Homo-oligomer: A and B are copies of this chain.
Amino acid sequence: MNLWNRYAPELVTDLYELTMAASYYRESMFGEATFSLFVRDYPSHRAYFIAAGIEHLLESVAQFRFSESSLEYIASTGKFASDFIDYLGRFRFTGSIRALSEGRIFFCNEPILEVTAPIIEGQIIETLVLNVIQLETMIAGKAARCVHAAGGRGLIDFSLRRTQGVDAGVKAARASYLVGFEGTSNLLAGQIYGIPVFGTMAHSYVTSFHSEMDSFLAFARAFPDNTVLLIDTYDTLSGAAKAVEIARMLRAQGRELKGVRLDSGDLVSLSKGVRKILDEAGFPDVKIMASGSLDEYGLKELLDAGAQIDTFAVGTKMGVSADSPYLDIAYKLVEYDHRPVLKLSSGKKTWVGRKQIYRRYDDRGMMCEDLLTLASDDRATGEPLLEVLVEDGRPARAPESVETIRSRFRREWETLPLPLREIIPTERYVVRISPALMAMDEQVTDRVMIEEVRQPSIRQR
């Protein structure tokens, strides 16, 4: 059961992938190409990225076929010759993909993956690769920052209602779970990935009853072992007093009220007030949950100010990565037919050639420096990060479960230097460019400058 399968991945494509492919086909350009996927720059306040979405990508690449209806649509645009449409009908991805496993931490300019395949195959999957990897990678980073800011308190994803579509909602639930959220409100994500689901009541529930107390009583009747009461519909402290009555009633039945939720107002003072009411009434174990426009910045502010909150429901701002709703991610041709290539377009640097990342750790096991170099560089040392995940079009290993990835991220996080974990980081991780890569890049740049740039005055980059 997988949401992704329900799309036609072959049409998750910009038209230009097909016009380019048609030209390559016409020119008989079937040489091997390597495309590299990387993020050019950090969004504000971010100092690391977390690879995510790889499993989704591998699955859709494995299943990538042009269905009859897709071929009919493509033919109907009137832009393509029939021999090319026939070629698309036979299309399979036969190349290799070297990638970071999901949950690994990486940095600017480091390839998340490199695709090596006949150029048409590498080109046609471009839009799909970008769309799938960017969203989950972006959300995983945002969610990891929330987990860090929460300092050990539980986090639940409540974002589905305001994510940018349903696909995004499911992926936000998955990505946030991968980096340490306890679960989600999202039933579709619960069904697809087996992520734990949470939720109790909305304000509409409270207001539909003749009184707030009636609504609390009804909920406790329906879910006596899992009663969490939303207490801010009318007045939070009055709501807390009513919650105490419910807690007493449940205790008389040999049960305990599980928690209360606050969704508005000054969460610092209200949570302290509610905690006091609950504690003084003899219910120190009733948890306080809070929600409402939270992300890492809000969480840090609340906790720095002493808010007494046990669990946070984090919604919209995490689910859309509100402070940085896209990554400057690019998928670039770096080698064709054994020839390294690059573009010079100003302000958009791409490192040439097939590459590998080597990571080095210090004595305490913390990552301390990455080396970006050519895949052919046999003098590089450290832990190579890109692994072969697809070879000759076939998966090189079994799909990974969300639990496997979640565990990998937990280990990976422990190696991330503390300054980089901060909400407002004060350091940048060092990614060194190897002399071999630097030399090749300069050589190709020089060649291109001489051969292609006819305006001497603007040859300076």
Interface digits, A1-36 against B, CB 8 Å rule (1 contact, 0 not)?
A: 101001110011111111110111011010001010
Cross-chain contact of A233 among B70, B204, B345, B347 (Cβ < 8 A): B345
Judge if A186 is at the interface, Cβ distance under 8 Å.
Answer: yes
A187 near B73 with CB under 8 A, answer yes
A200 near B69 with CB under 8 A, answer no
Q: Bound complex: CA of A458 vs CA of B241, how far in Å?
A: 14
Q: Bound complex: CA of A11 vs CA of B17, how far in Å?
A: 34
Cross-chain contact of A16 among B199, B333, B449 (Cβ < 8 A): B199
Q: Bound complex: CA of A294 vs CA of B164, how far in Å?
A: 20
A238 near B167 with CB under 8 A, answer no
Chain B residues with CB below 8 A from A322, complex form: 325-326
Judge if A232 is at the interface, Cβ distance under 8 Å.
Answer: yes
Cross-chain contact of A127 among B3, B160, B448 (Cβ < 8 A): B160
Query: Contacts A208-B336, A341-B207, A458-B235: A164 and B325 contacting too (C-beta < 8 A)?
Result: yes
Among residues of B, the one whose C-beta sits closest to the C-beta of A339 is B210
Chain B residues with CB below 8 A from A12, complex form: 160, 166, 169, 187-188
Number of copies: 2
B165 near A131 with CB under 8 A, answer yes
B204 near A123 with CB under 8 A, answer yes
Judge if A234 is at the interface, Cβ distance under 8 Å.
Answer: yes
Q: Bound complex: CA of A418 vs CA of B160, how far in Å?
A: 36
Judge if A346 is at the interface, Cβ distance under 8 Å.
Answer: yes
Smallest CB–CB gap between A321 and chain B, Å? 8
Q: Bound complex: CA of A284 vs CA of B387, how far in Å?
A: 51
Chain B residues with CB below 8 A from A82, complex form: none
Judge if A198 is at the interface, Cβ distance under 8 Å.
Answer: yes
Cross-chain contact of A135 among B22, B35, B165, B205 (Cβ < 8 A): B165
Judge if A237 is at the interface, Cβ distance under 8 Å.
Answer: yes
Q: Bound complex: CA of A316 vs CA of B171, how far in Å?
A: 19
Among residues of B, the one whose C-beta sits closest to the C-beta of A123 is B204
B203 near A166 with CB under 8 A, answer no
Chain B residues with CB below 8 A from A191, complex form: 11, 69-70, 73
The size of the chain A interface, using a CB distance under 8 A, is 114
Q: Bound complex: CA of A11 vs CA of B263, how far in Å?
A: 24
Judge if A359 is at the interface, Cβ distance under 8 Å.
Answer: no
Stretch at the interface among A214-222, A303-311, A375-383: A214-222
Among residues of B, the one whose C-beta sits closest to the C-beta of A211 is B451
Cross-chain contact of A320 among B167, B204, B263, B325 (Cβ < 8 A): B325
Q: Bound complex: CA of A264 vs CA of B346, how far in Å?
A: 6
Query: Contacts A19-B200, A79-B226, A322-B326: A164 and B185 contacting too (C-beta < 8 A)?
Result: no
Q: Bound complex: CA of A22 vs CA of B227, how far in Å?
A: 13
Judge if A327 is at the interface, Cβ distance under 8 Å.
Answer: yes
14 A/B residue pairs, CB under 8 Å, sorted by A: A6-B7, A13-B188, A19-B219, A22-B222, A23-B222, A77-B190, A126-B204, A134-B161, A134-B162, A207-B343, A233-B452, A234-B343, A235-B458, A320-B325
Q: Chain A interface (Cβ within 8 Å of chain B)?
A: 1, 3, 6-8, 11-20, 22-24, 26-27, 29, 33, 35, 69-70, 73-74, 77, 79, 119, 123, 126-127, 130-131, 134-135, 158, 160-169, 171, 185-188, 190-191, 197-208, 211-212, 218-219, 221-223, 226, 232-235, 237-238, 241, 263-265, 316-317, 320-322, 325-327, 329, 332-333, 336, 341-348, 448-449, 451-455, 458-459
What 9 A-B pairs are tightest by C-beta distance, nearest first?
A165-B167, A15-B199, A16-B199, A204-B333, A6-B6, A164-B164, A264-B345, A14-B185, A234-B452
